[in-house]
């Protein structure tokens, strides 16, 4: 790379007369000041990206970086998606450095064209859902049921509490966006909640969480993800097609009677996200009847 690599120091000692600020210093401050505002799962992903960014660009002077310095980082076949996401994190940190910390004149990554991945389009069919759910442990099966019926993300499903139930509604605040929802409890959702109450270590044993571990404590995102991976791997070894837990959110959106109903269930502020990413089935329309 053409960029210089000055000795690192704490960024709060920066003045215009000191040596250029390094990528390490910007990422350190970004991790300290900005990551606490993110959801736990997103925070963990960002920290993983930051480790990789530091290993590749850390000691380099941020203001000396040029678009061509990121070419080799992106010029790979395997792992490109993760690298694109890592550069999105670096770009966010550089934006902070330009607009809030005033230690950079410009964000060089605005001039780096990053390949865009098409939206995920795996649609889980009702038959696949039933087959996969029937093979699952009771806790995984119930988490699948709650994810489908409520349309919420894994992190929110494992965070559901009994105190979130008010009358015949499940109240929640989405961890990723902060959106507040009140989801009406249908007979099928009520049956799932009743089954959750009876779990060993569940509500009947005093747990505050709707889908807890056997000891009544909540799953961590990483812990539930490991449980899910073991289950879906067993499912695939029998010749079934793999899908991700997050595909159940798209299944919920696609199963809604209208795009607007899907948008409201998923908590989107803009229907374009619902349509572009989560409505994965055919949109049935009537042919025009001319006058």
Instruction: Spell out the long-range contacts of 209-212 with Cβ–Cβ below 8 A and sequence spacing 24 or more.
Output: 209/158, 209/159, 209/160, 209/161, 209/162, 210/146, 210/160, 210/161, 210/162, 210/164, 211/139, 211/142, 211/143, 211/146, 211/157, 211/158, 211/160
Alpha carbon distance 176, 167 (integer Å): 25
pTM of the model: 0.78
Q: Per-residue confidence at 156, pLDDT binned at 50, 70, 90?
A: very high
The C-alpha angle with vertex 203 and arms to 202 and 209, in degrees rounded to 5, equals 75
Does residue 82 register a pLDDT over 80? Answer: yes
Token pair for 150: 């409520």
pLDDT of residue 15: 54
pLDDT of residue 14: 53
pLDDT of residue 42: 87
For residue 180, the cross-strand partners are 173
Is residue 50 within 8 A of residue 31, CB to CB? The reply is yes
Which residue carries 């010029």 as its tokens? 75
Name 173's Cβ contacts closer than 8 Å, sequence gap at least 6. Answer: 179, 180, 181
Question: All domains of the chain, ordered by start, with CATH?
Answer: 11-111 (1.10.150), 126-278 (1.10.443.10)
Average pLDDT over residues 196-205: 97
Q: What confidence tens digit (pLDDT) does each residue in 175-198 have?
A: 888 999 999 999 999 999 999 999
């Amino acid at each position: 790379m053409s960029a210089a690599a000055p000795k690192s120091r704490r960024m709060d000692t920066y003045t215009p007369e000191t040596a250029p600020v390094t990528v390490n210093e910007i990422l350190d401050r970004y991790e300290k000041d900005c990551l606490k505002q993110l959801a736990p799962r997103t925070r963990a992903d960002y920290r993983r990206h930051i480790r990789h960014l530091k290993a590749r660009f850390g000691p380099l002077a941020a203001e000396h970086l040029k678009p061509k310095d990121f070419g080799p980082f992106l010029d790979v076949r395997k792992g490109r998606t993760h690298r694109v996401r890592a550069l999105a994190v670096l770009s966010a940190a550089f934006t902070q450095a330009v607009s809030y910390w005033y230690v950079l004149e410009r964000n060089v990554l605005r001039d780096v064209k990053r390949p865009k991945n098409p939206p995920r389009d795996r649609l889980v069919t009702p038959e696949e859902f039933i087959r996969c759910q029937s093979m699952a442990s009771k806790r995984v099966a119930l988490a699948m049921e709650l994810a489908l019926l409520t349309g919420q993300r894994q992190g929110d499903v494992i965070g559901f509490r009994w105190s979130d139930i008010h009358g015949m509604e499940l109240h929640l605040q989405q961890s990723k966006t902060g959106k507040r929802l009140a989801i009406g409890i249908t007979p099928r959702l009520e049956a799932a909640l009743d089954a959750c109450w009876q779990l060993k270590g569940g509500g009947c044993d005093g747990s505050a969480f709707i889908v807890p571990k056997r000891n009544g404590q909540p799953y961590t995102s990483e812990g539930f993800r490991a449980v899910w991976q073991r289950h879906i791997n067993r499912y695939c070894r029998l010749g079934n097609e793999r899908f991700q837990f997050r595909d159940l959110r798209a299944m919920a959106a696609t199963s809604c009677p209208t795009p607007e109903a899907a948008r409201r269930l998923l908590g989107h502020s803009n229907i374009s996200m619902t349509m572009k990413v989560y409505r994965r089935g055919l949109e049935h329309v009537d042919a025009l009847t001319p006058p």
